[in-house]
Amino acid sequence: MVDEKKQLQNIKNPEKPMAFLGGAVAVIGALLFITPYVTMQFGAYGFYFKYFGGIFFVIGLFMVYYYGKKSKDFNRLLTSEEEKILWVYDDGRYESYVAHIQKEGVQGNKQKLIILLIVTVAMLVMMFFVLPKNEKLMVYLFAIGMFGISSTFIYILPLLEMRRINNKPYCTIVTTDEAFSMGTYHRWKECKAKVKEGLVPGMTVLAFTYEGMTANGKMTREWHALLPSEDQDRVEEARQMAVLINRKRKRKDKDGQRERSFLDRLILKALNRDHEN
């Protein structure tokens, strides 16, 4: 266990690069925004520079705030004295698991790219025939923007994710409120946890489902923390943590119900219907 705890000192903060990326996006947005004021060569297209520059700037600032906060939360997880699971993996087992999920991810990305290409080409053809001749440049700008955005979400972000996954040391940390697994930091308000077998042949995982921010907004997703071995002690350890996580969620649900019931009583009293309570 002492050796495992030493591994904490070597874990790279997965949120810092995203915070720096947000800073870069904000700088690019600011440069785009001021470009029309510096040079008048763009004429009427200066509006688009300011428009997209403003959007980039706001997105960049949001990323700096959001990932900066997560970065602080992650650092606190490493130093927390709260009851936690700390698993360090054998390289062969971990890399075998990663290879399996990476294969599935590549197949999914190919399907997304094909669909996106079809939609983009259809929109470009429509714009080419609908827009006046003096605005044909917008077709090319739109094409560059769409391919840039699609490449970011389909290839660049997954590549960054795989880089985080392959960062050593290979380890997992789980508490009742947060987890670090496969290079990704998770934090939740409510979570359902369960030990699952058979998702990858011969391997058991601790699955936790919670609502979190994604590229498509808030969504409920399931994440998996690979058990370092199939030993009964490890499986039991994972099950006990799942019980603690689920128990905390149920306790929060009950607290929420009590709060709602109290508010209901106040409303009924204001309506002189408190006798119905």
Please list the helix, strand and coil fractions of the chain in percent, rounded to the nearest 5, in that order.
Answer: 65, 15, 15
Number of domains in the chain: 1
Residue 24 in tokens: 């870069």
Q: Each residue of 42-62: pLDDT tens digit?
A: 667 778 788 889 999 999 999
Maximum CA extent, the chain: 74
- Pick 205 or 1 by higher pLDDT: 205
CA–CA separation, 236 vs 193, rounded Å?
13
The answer to whether residue 72 sits within a structural domain is yes
Q: Look at residue 35 and tell me whether its pLDDT is greater than 90.
A: no
Q: Look at residue 277 and tell me whether its pLDDT is greater than 50.
A: no
The answer to whether residue 238 sits within a structural domain is no
Q: Do 265 and 274 meet the contact criterion of CB atoms below 8 Å apart? A: yes
User: β-pairing, 184-187 with 217-226?
Assistant: unpaired
CA–CA separation, 54 vs 47, rounded Å?
11
Q: Each residue of 123-181: pLDDT tens digit?
A: 778 777 777 776 667 677 777 777 777 777 677 777 778 888 888 889 999 999 999 99
Distance of CA 251 to the CA centre of its chain: 26
CA–CA separation, 127 vs 125, rounded Å?
5
Q: Do 165 and 182 meet the contact criterion of CB atoms below 8 Å apart? A: yes
The answer to whether residue 51 sits within a structural domain is yes
The answer to whether residue 59 sits within a structural domain is yes
The answer to whether residue 168 sits within a structural domain is no
CA–CA separation, 187 vs 193, rounded Å?
13
Sheet strand arrangement including 178-181: 85-88, 171-174, 178-181, 184-187
Q: How far is CA 263 from CA 168, 253, 257, in A?
A: 50, 15, 10
CA–CA separation, 17 vs 67, rounded Å?
9
The answer to whether residue 172 sits within a structural domain is no
CA–CA separation, 207 vs 174, rounded Å?
11
The residue range of the domain holding 40 is 13-79
233 falls in which pLDDT band (50, 70, 90)?
very high
Output the CA torsion sign for 199, 188, 178, 154: positive
Q: Is the previous residue joined to 169 through a cis bond, with omega within 30 degrees of 0?
A: yes
Q: Which of 107-116, 232-241, 245-254 has the lowest mean pLDDT?
A: 107-116
pTM attached to this predicted model: 0.72
Q: What are phi and psi of 196, to 5 degrees?
A: -125, 145
The H or E element that residue 16 is part of is helix 16-38
